[in-house]
Structure 1
Amino acid sequence: MGVDRRWSELPEAKQAAAVGDFGTLLRVARTAARLTLSEAGLRCGYSAATLSRIERGRQRLTDVTVLRRLAAVFDIPPELFGLADIDGPAFHRTGTPIDRVPGEALRREGGDDPVRRREVLGGLAGLVGSALTGNPPALAAPPPSVVTSLEDVLLGGGATPAGPVDPIRLRTALTAAWSDFRACRYAKLSARLPQLVTAASAGHTAAADDERATAATTLTQAYHLTIQVLVKLHEDAMAWSAMDRATQAARDADDPLLSAETARVSAIVLRRTHHGERAQRTLIRAAQDLDEATGLRSAGQVATYGRLLATAAYTAAIGDRRDTAWDLLGEAAEAGRRSGAGDGFAGVDVALYRISVARVLGDFGAAVQYARALRPDQLGSVERRARYWEDYALALHGRGAYAESFRALQSAEQIAPQEVRYRPWAQQLSVALLDADRRRALPGLRSFAAHLGTPT
Structure 2
Amino acid sequence: MGTETAPGAGLVIRAARTLAGMRQADLGRTVGYSASQISRIESGRAGLDLETAARLADVLDLSVEELGVAARPRENVPARAGRTRVARKPNQESDPVRRRELLAGALGVGAALAVPGSAAAHEPADHLERLLYQSRTGSPVALTALEEQLAAARRTFRAAEYDALAAQLPDIVKAAEATRTAATGPQRERAAAATAHAYILASRLAIKQHKHLAWATADRALNAAQDAGRSTVIGEAARVLAITMRRGGSPGAAVDLLQHTALSLEADRAAADAGALAVYGSLLLTAAYTAAQSGNAATATDLAAEAESAAHRLKGPEPDLYTAGEHTLDHCTAYRISIHHALGQDTQAVAHARRLPAGRLASAERRGRYYTDVARAWQRLDKPERAFRALRAAEREAPQEVGRPSMRALTAELLYQPGDIPGLQAFARRTGALTA
Q: Shorter-normalised TM-score: what interval?
A: 0.7 to 0.9
Aligned partner of 1:318 in structure 2 is 293
Return the letter of the residue paired with 1:388. Y
Aligned partner of 2:257 in structure 1 is 282
Contact kept in structure 2, 1:224 and 1:265, CA below 8 Å: yes
**Equivalent position to 2:419, from 439, 442, 446:** 439
Aligned partner of 1:59 in structure 2 is none
**Equivalent position to 2:133, from 142, 152, 165:** 152
Mark the CA change 1:121 to 1:237 in structure 2 (over 3 Å): closer, same or farther.
Answer: closer
**Equivalent position to 1:92, from 65, 68, 74:** 65
Post-superposition offset of 1:288: 0.9
Aligned partner of 1:211 in structure 2 is 187
Post-superposition offset of 1:90: 9.6
Return the letter of the residue paired with 2:359. D
Q: Is it true that 1:300 corresponds to 2:275 in the alignment?
A: yes
Give the alignment's Cα RMSD to 1 decimal: 2.7
Alignment gaps of 5+ in structure 1: 1-13, 23-88, 100-114, 133-141
Post-superposition offset of 1:388: 0.2
Post-superposition offset of 1:266: 1.3
Aligned partner of 1:130 in structure 2 is 120
**Equivalent position to 2:141, from 142, 155, 165:** 165
Q: Deviations over 1:139-166 (max 9, x none)?
A: xxx522322212314xxx35x32x4322
Contact kept in structure 2, 1:174 and 1:196, CA below 8 Å: yes
Please give the secondary structure, in 2, of the residue aligned with 1:411. helix
Aligned partner of 1:418 in structure 2 is 400
Q: Deviations over 1:122-149 (max 9, x none)?
A: 56997xx5362xxxxxxxxx52232221
Q: Provide the rounded CA distance (Å) in 2 between the counterparts of 1:92 and 1:314.
A: 33
Aligned partner of 1:45 in structure 2 is none
Post-superposition offset of 1:271: 0.8
Post-superposition offset of 1:383: 0.5
Contact kept in structure 2, 1:217 and 1:249, CA below 8 Å: yes
Q: Is it true that 1:177 corresponds to 2:167 in the alignment?
A: no
Poorly superposed stretches of 4+, deviation over 3 Å: 93-99, 115-118, 122-126
- How many pairs were matched up? 341
Mark the CA change 1:298 to 1:148 in structure 2 (over 3 Å): closer, same or farther.
Answer: closer
Q: Provide the rounded CA distance (Å) in 2 between the counterparts of 1:308 and 1:124.
A: 31
Q: Is it true that 1:449 corresponds to 2:419 in the alignment?
A: no
Aligned partner of 1:381 in structure 2 is 363
Aligned partner of 1:246 in structure 2 is 221
Instruction: Tell me the TM-score normalised to structure 2 length.
Output: 0.73
Q: Provide the rounded CA distance (Å) in 1 between the counterparts of 2:406 and 2:70.
A: 20
Post-superposition offset of 1:297: 1.5
Contact kept in structure 1, 2:235 and 2:262, CA below 8 Å: yes
Q: Is it true that 1:121 corresponds to 2:94 in the alignment?
A: no
**Equivalent position to 2:387, from 396, 405, 416:** 405
Post-superposition offset of 1:117: 7.4
Q: Deviations over 1:277-302 (max 9, x none)?
A: 11111011111100011252222222
Please give the secondary structure, in 1, of the residue aligned with 2:120. coil
Q: Provide the rounded CA distance (Å) in 1 between the counterparts of 2:307 and 2:352.
A: 16
Post-superposition offset of 1:226: 0.8
Aligned partner of 2:165 in structure 1 is 189
Contact kept in structure 2, 1:294 and 1:301, CA below 8 Å: no
Please give the secondary structure, in 1, of the residue aligned with 2:124. coil
Q: Provide the rounded CA distance (Å) in 2 between the counterparts of 1:144 and 1:150.
A: 10
Contact kept in structure 2, 1:355 and 1:370, CA below 8 Å: yes
Post-superposition offset of 1:97: 6.7
Contact kept in structure 2, 1:377 and 1:385, CA below 8 Å: yes
Contact kept in structure 2, 1:300 and 1:339, CA below 8 Å: no
Post-superposition offset of 1:213: 0.5
Post-superposition offset of 1:118: 5.0
Aligned partner of 2:353 in structure 1 is 371
Return the letter of the residue paired with 1:130. A
Post-superposition offset of 1:451: 2.0
Q: Provide the rounded CA distance (Å) in 1 between the counterparts of 2:184 and 2:270.
A: 31
Aligned partner of 2:372 in structure 1 is 390
Q: Deviations over 1:296-332 (max 9, x none)?
A: 2222222221111111100100111011101111111
Q: Is it true that 1:346 corresponds to 2:328 in the alignment?
A: yes
Post-superposition offset of 1:338: 0.7
Q: Provide the rounded CA distance (Å) in 2 between the counterparts of 1:97 and 1:341.
A: 57
Q: Provide the rounded CA distance (Å) in 2 between the counterparts of 1:372 and 1:378.
A: 12
Q: Provide the rounded CA distance (Å) in 2 between the counterparts of 1:406 and 1:90.
A: 30
Contact kept in structure 2, 1:256 and 1:294, CA below 8 Å: no
Please give the secondary structure, in 2, of the residue aligned with 1:168. helix
Contact kept in structure 1, 2:289 and 2:338, CA below 8 Å: yes
Percent identical pairs in the alignment equals: 35
Q: Deviations over 1:27-80 (max 9, x none)?
A: xxxxxxxxxxxxxxxxxxxxxxxxxxxxxxxxxxxxxxxxxxxxxxxxxxxxxx
Aligned partner of 1:19 in structure 2 is 5
Return the letter of the residue paired with 2:225. A
Q: Deviations over 1:389-423 (max 9, x none)?
A: 010011011111111111110111111111112x0
Contact kept in structure 2, 1:340 and 1:346, CA below 8 Å: no
Contact kept in structure 2, 1:120 and 1:427, CA below 8 Å: no
Return the letter of the residue paired with 1:143. P
**Equivalent position to 1:273, from 234, 238, 248:** 248
Q: Deviations over 1:148-189 (max 9, x none)?
A: 212314xxx35x32x432222111111111111110111211
Aligned partner of 1:108 in structure 2 is none
Aligned partner of 1:227 in structure 2 is 203
Report which stretch shifted further, 215-224 or 261-270: 261-270
Q: Provide the rounded CA distance (Å) in 2 between the counterparts of 1:410 and 1:221.
A: 32
